[in-house]
Chains A and B, each alone.
Chain A
Amino acid sequence: MNGHHGAVAMFAAALSFFPPCAAPAAEEVPQRAQACTVCHGPGGNSTDPAVPSLAGQPAQFISMQLFLFRQGDRKDPQMSPIAANLSNADMNELAAYFTRQRPASPSHQSARENAAAGRRLAEQYHCVQCHGPALLGLQHIPRLAGQQFAYLRTQLRGFKAKIRADFDGNMTSVAELLSERDIEILADYLSGLTPARD
């Protein structure tokens, strides 16, 4: 596409040759991103089940969520006040940093019986259509593979209850179909997936 995107694509391609690991990012952490890593973990690899990992998330997803927090459409006691003070350029800078970080191997162990059931639900409810076959996300759509379990469950419950900001209505309409049991299985399945490209 161009130099910048080409470099990202090459980096992403290079990543696929290495098994994911929790090694700290080699890159210098921008000052603004250091505050994020207090909760979101070094390099944006969270160790708190309730806090999402940012490492390797699509840049557009990160900047859009920060924007939604600042605008007040998405609400969180920690994130809302932080986002309130960020400029668009700040958000883009944070998105550019965290998208470059390598996702760690998942700490979550999925229940064995949920591997097939989770995949079936992910296909039945078309998760794989937007989030991609390996659930790695693209553009404004997040990576789900290896994301924290409690965080995923909270988001799905929020979409189902129509209280989670939804940019285009897709998640709200699909989550309405999910049972609480579906949500448990999906969150368990997704959070145990290795976040690596095939």
Chain B
Amino acid sequence: MFSAPFRPLVSLSAALACALIASAAQAQAPAAPAAPPSWQQGRNAEQEKSTLHPFAIEVTGKSAKELPLDKLKVPEGFKVEVWAEGLPGARSMALGSKGTVFVGTRQLKDVYAVVDRGGKREVKTILKGLESPNGVVFSRGTLYVAERHRITRYDGIENRLDNPPEAKVVVDGLDPQNQPGHFWKFLALGPDGKLYYNVGAPGNIVMPAYFQAAISRVDPRTGIVENYALGVRNSVGFDWHPQTKQLWFTNHGRDWLGDESPNDTLHVATRKGLHFGYPFCHQGDTLDPEFGKHRSCSEFAPPALKLGAHIAPIGMRFYTGKMFPAEYQNNIFIAMRGSWNRTIKQGYNVTRVSFDSDGKPKMEPFLTGFLVDEKADPPMWGRPNDVMVMRDGSLLVSDDQNGIIYRVSYGTK
């Protein structure tokens, strides 16, 4: 949360050049200017005066009655309502076998559990003092939590919500450089029984280390880690196709290349080891002005779909429930948490991605109304962060701006 001043990784040649001149310059040189915070990194001289900025969440949350909920819109036949409130910073969600909804945070240090008591939801803060506990997974009675530096497990958690067990470490040392930039982790359980997580790029546009800008996986039985997808600037949402079992993921493109460039993207990893382009190539077809000079986009796996520039896709899930109409089956819902790095804002919705008979994806807005003035600062009153299909087929949507969880249902009064 309190990021240390950003220190970019320099390229090898630059490092050598620096080393050569360093000794000569050291004597008289004034203190090196502090590097900008990671979200500002990569701005050109003109953009130094830009007033575009990321938006801070309401760390104390907002009560639902303060929010303009009547602005929310869903397609005909659907209904949206507040499902739970009082979860400041609510992000990733996981569903327990007894129906508990576990919720992680990034800018807070808490993990919540929401228990449904006959239509009334009770929110408990079950874990405190963690380091950006963004990722949560529930499997066979165990809650797994991804913090910035480690993944831990809490066995038998649903029987011990008021007295959680001590954390057991699955893997530690995931943040050896105390990295700036994208250090918070999404977490999901693959069909292979391994836990998949991201380590984002340590800045806006910098050369990542071998374990950064990657989706990796760890076997919870052995603690052995391996990279799975490379060149992924920052993915904070993934899921596996219910039939092909392939990994699909959202990815955030770089900032400061203009309102329309590059797109954030939706990808499919058809196998382990593919490289998706960062920092060399963006959106499958746009070389980076600095890192792409001597590369070609044809080296890299292209996206399945361009989602819009700076729109910040976070959580995504395939719809496998029984409640929504049949055409929603195996569609993808994506929570769009941005945009901020555009003069005219877009996004702030839940988007539906469906597939035509050739398997070609297309998207349309599904839950809208958070964005109220595309030119205002701020332009929105809420920010969808994750989506999760419940056992009854309804869709939960977390909003970390306000600490609210909404529920979208179909065919109910």
Q: Measuring CB to CB, which residues of chain A are less than 8 angstroms from any residue of chain B?
A: 1-5, 60, 63-64, 66-68, 71, 73, 88-89, 91-92, 95, 126, 129-130, 138-140, 165-170, 172-174, 176-177
A94 to chain B, nearest CB (A): 10
* B51, closest chain A residue (CB): A129
Q: Are A60 and B2 in contact (CB-based, < 8 A)?
A: no
Report if B37 contacts A (CB, 8 A): yes
Q: Which residues of A contact B3 (CB under 8 A)?
A: 168-169
Partner of B2, one of A73, A89, A139: A73
Q: Name B57-74 residues within 8 Å CB distance of A.
A: 58-63, 66, 68, 71
Partner of A169, one of B4, B63, B88: B4
Q: Is the interface of B mostly helix, strand, loop or mixed?
A: loop
CA distance in complex: A54, B294 (Å)? 54
Report if B34 contacts A (CB, 8 A): yes
Q: Are B33 and A177 in contact (CB-based, < 8 A)?
A: yes
Contact flag A168-B54 (CB < 8 Å), given A1-B372, A138-B377: yes
**What does the 1/0 interface line of B369-411 toward A look like (CB < 8 Å)?**
0001100111001000000000000000000000000000000
CA distance in complex: A166, B1 (Å)? 8
Partner of A92, one of B2, B62, B381: B62
Report if B56 contacts A (CB, 8 A): yes
Report if B109 contacts A (CB, 8 A): yes
Q: Are B373 and A173 in contact (CB-based, < 8 A)?
A: no
Contact flag A139-B378 (CB < 8 Å), given A166-B2, A169-B4: yes
Partner of A173, one of B1, B5, B68: B5
11 contacts between A and B (CB under 8 A): A63-B59, A88-B86, A91-B60, A92-B60, A166-B2, A168-B54, A169-B2, A172-B2, A172-B34, A173-B34, A177-B34
Report if B6 contacts A (CB, 8 A): yes
Contact flag A67-B34 (CB < 8 Å), given A1-B373, A1-B376: no
**A67-B60, A88-B60 are known contacts; what are 13 more A-B pairs with Cβ within 8 Å?**
A2-B68, A60-B58, A67-B59, A92-B61, A129-B49, A129-B50, A130-B53, A165-B2, A166-B2, A167-B107, A168-B3, A168-B37, A173-B34
Q: Are B34 and A63 in contact (CB-based, < 8 A)?
A: no
* B376, closest chain A residue (CB): A1
CA distance in complex: A166, B180 (Å)? 14
Q: Which residues of B contact A173 (CB under 8 A)?
A: 5-6, 34-37
**List of 7 A-B pairs having minimum Cβ-Cβ separation, nearest first:** A2-B68, A176-B34, A169-B3, A140-B56, A88-B60, A169-B37, A173-B5
Q: Are A1 and B56 in contact (CB-based, < 8 A)?
A: no
Q: Name B1-56 residues within 8 Å CB distance of A.
A: 1-6, 33-40, 48-51, 53-56
B407 to chain A, nearest CB (A): 21
* A138, closest chain B residue (CB): B377
Contact flag A139-B56 (CB < 8 Å), given A168-B3, A169-B4, A176-B5: yes
By CB atoms of chain A within 10 A, which of B3, B49, B86, B109 has the most? B3
Q: Are B50 and A168 in contact (CB-based, < 8 A)?
A: no
How many residue pairs link A and B with beta carbons under 8 A? The number is: 90
**What does the 1/0 interface line of B299-322 toward A look like (CB < 8 Å)?**
000000000000000000000000
CA distance in complex: A168, B6 (Å)? 11
CA distance in complex: A66, B37 (Å)? 23
* B380, closest chain A residue (CB): A1
Q: Are A66 and B34 in contact (CB-based, < 8 A)?
A: no
Contact flag A169-B56 (CB < 8 Å), given A1-B68, A139-B378: no
Q: Are A4 and B58 in contact (CB-based, < 8 A)?
A: no
**What does the 1/0 interface line of B232-255 toward A look like (CB < 8 Å)?**
000000000000000000000000
Q: Are B5 and A88 in contact (CB-based, < 8 A)?
A: no
* B52, closest chain A residue (CB): A129
B174 to chain A, nearest CB (A): 20
CA distance in complex: A25, B79 (Å)? 43
Q: Are B88 and A1 in contact (CB-based, < 8 A)?
A: no
Q: Which residues of B contact A71 (CB under 8 A)?
A: 109
Q: Are B1 and A167 in contact (CB-based, < 8 A)?
A: yes
Contact flag A168-B56 (CB < 8 Å), given A1-B376, A2-B68, A126-B48: yes
Q: Are A169 and B33 in contact (CB-based, < 8 A)?
A: no
* A64, closest chain B residue (CB): B59
A5 to chain B, nearest CB (A): 8
Q: Which residues of B contact A5 (CB under 8 A)?
A: 381
Q: Which residues of A contact B377 (CB under 8 A)?
A: 138-139
Partner of A66, one of B35, B60, B86: B60
* B58, closest chain A residue (CB): A60
Q: Which residues of B contact A1 (CB under 8 A)?
A: 68, 372-373, 376, 381
CA distance in complex: A130, B378 (Å)? 13
Q: Which residues of A contact B33 (CB under 8 A)?
A: 176-177
Partner of B5, one of A63, A89, A130, A172: A172
* A3, closest chain B residue (CB): B68
